[in-house]
Amino acid sequence: MTLNTTAETETAKIARGLRERDMELLADLVERCQHRLVRYLLYLTGRREHAEDLAQETWIRVLQRGSQYNGRQRFDPWLFAIARNLAIDYVRKKLKAVQTVSLPNDRDAMLLLPSSGPSPFEAAARSEDAMRLAGRLQILSPLYREALLLRFQEDLSLPEIAQVVGAPVTTVTSRIYRGLAALRSAFEEGGDSPGV
């Protein structure tokens, strides 16, 4: 009960601060969330430089639309949802600029288009196991990567993840299971089956 009350007070304080464009509060939020925001965008786009740029864009959007945060749910899922929409728009814009083929109508499908360049996951792996997962993560569908990150690194609940990705909880759960299955094969004997 006390913990709930504290959480409500915290989110209400954030909502008020965002409405008033309180720089002190924003500095606190940046300090607390910037690192995680970049990590999320990295999982989503698979590209370091995109992640840094999109994180900055996300904070501008938070500043502009801060009054839309109602303080009834946690701040983090709201922040990630903004970042996700920006990432999709960014990929769409970038692809429109470089190619003339028609783009998918489904917003999520934008994330499925292949990305090139070196894997940021290998550079970030801090253990032998993580190194084995890095290769799999790079070829894993961003939708699965995203679901795994939100569940196991950000520790968001399934309904919160559903809120971020704008999909039903059942879809989110299925993505986590499939992602886990694809990564688990990295540790299995002869674990070189293709990623999902």
Partner 1 sequence: MIRLECDKRFRELIDRSFVEGVSEGERQLIHDHIRDCDGCKRYVELTARTIRGLREFTFTSEADSNAQVLEMLAHHTGTMRQHNVQFKIWAAFAVALSMSIVGSAFVYQVAKFLAAPMHFDTAQVQAGVLVFWLLPSFCSALCLLAAPGENRGIA
**Site of interaction with partner 1 (CB under 8 A):** 21, 23, 26-27, 30-31, 34-35, 38-39, 42, 52, 55-56, 59-60, 63-64, 120-121, 124-127, 129-130, 132-134, 148-149, 151-153, 158, 173, 176-177, 180, 183-188, 193
Nearest approach, Cβ of residue 99 and partner 1 (Å): 29
Nearer to partner 1 (CB atom), residue 101 or residue 188: 188
Nearest approach, Cβ of residue 134 and partner 1 (Å): 8
Nearer to partner 1 (CB atom), residue 7 or residue 23: 23
Q: Which residue in this structure is represented by tokens 């890095």?
A: 134
Nearer to partner 1 (CB atom), residue 96 or residue 184: 184
What CA–CA distance (Å, rounded) separates 44 from 7? 28
Q: With the C-alpha atoms ordered 108, 185, 170, 78, is the resulting torsion angle positive or negative?
A: negative
Long-range CB pairs of 59-64 (<8 Å, 24+ gap) are 59/26, 59/30, 59/34, 61/86, 62/18, 62/26, 62/29, 63/18, 63/21, 63/26
Which residues neighbour 25 within 8 Å (Cβ) at sequence distance 6 or greater?
Answer: 13, 14, 17, 18
Nearer to partner 1 (CB atom), residue 88 or residue 147: 147
Nearest approach, Cβ of residue 63 and partner 1 (Å): 6
Instruction: Return phi, psi of residue 82, to 5°.
Output: -65, -45
Nearest approach, Cβ of residue 83 and partner 1 (Å): 13
Nearest approach, Cβ of residue 179 and partner 1 (Å): 9
